[in-house]
Amino acid sequence: MNEIINEIDDPVLMDQIEKIVPFHGYLSTGAFIGLQMLNLARELLDIKEDERIFVTCETQNCLPDPFQILRGCTIGNKGLNIVDHGKMAVTINKAAVPGETFVKGVRIVLDPGKTVKYPIFHAWYMNEAKVSHEDAIRELIKAGNDVYSWYFIDVPVPIKSKKKVAICSSCGESFVQEDEGNICKGCK
């Protein structure tokens, strides 16, 4: 992997990779895809370094990590949502202005119709052959944004409701009540 990293001459990309590797454990192909998607979204939405973003990843594998380490988007702060559809896709948007009901976002997808131009990477993506992370990432670096499709969407701004805590009538533990029932999800 060091050979690939040594080939990168973009200091911003290198800085990002140096932050991702200790967090993720190594530079996986999925984490690199997430990094490319993040950088593409920054261009498309004109995201500034100090702006908060919200991300929905459609896989839990590797892809969310760059958003966590580079942008501070976590499940705990509600900046990261994972809806595991098993897709290499993300939806990204900036924070809404108070009173807005929708905010402009972008959905970015790793497009198999475009990855075919990069046979080694395509074989990794479609799981057609055993391809090392090094070889897959080398092709991704060559491809740049050429393997992604994207479109702008209106993302609904969630309405923040007051949290209601109840005691479960079955187990006796407190839980956040989502309906009028007095039984927690664990006991249902």
pLDDT tens, 138-161? 999 999 999 999 999 999 998 877
What phi and psi values does residue 38 have, to the nearest 5 degrees? -60, -50
Q: What is the pLDDT of residue 52?
A: 95
**How close are the terminal C-alpha atoms of the chain, in Å?**
47
Q: Which long-range contacts (CB under 8 A, 24 or more apart) does 154-163 make?
A: 154/102, 154/103, 154/104, 154/105, 155/54, 155/91, 155/93, 155/102, 155/103, 155/104, 155/105, 156/101, 156/102, 157/96, 157/100, 157/101, 157/102, 157/103
Rounded distance between C-alpha atoms, residue 177 and residue 188, angstroms: 13
Length of the chain measured in residues = 188
Given 3.30.2270.10, 3.30.1330.130, 3.30.1450.10, 3.40.50.920, which CATH number is that of 2-157? 3.30.1330.130
Domain ranges within the chain, ordered by starting residue = 2-157, 161-188
Q: Which of 9-13, 103-107, 136-140 shows the lowest per-residue confidence on average (mean pLDDT)? A: 9-13
Sheet holding 53-57, edge to edge: 80-82, 53-57, 89-94, 102-110, 148-156
pLDDT in tens, 67-90: 999 999 999 999 999 999 999 999
The radius of gyration of the chain's CA atoms, rounded to the nearest angstrom, is: 19
Answer whether 0.75 is exceeded by the pTM: yes
Neighbour-count burial of 114, counting CB atoms closer than 10 A to its CB (0-12 exposed, 13-18 middle, 19+ buried) = middle
Q: Are 38 and 31 in contact (CB under 8 A)?
A: no
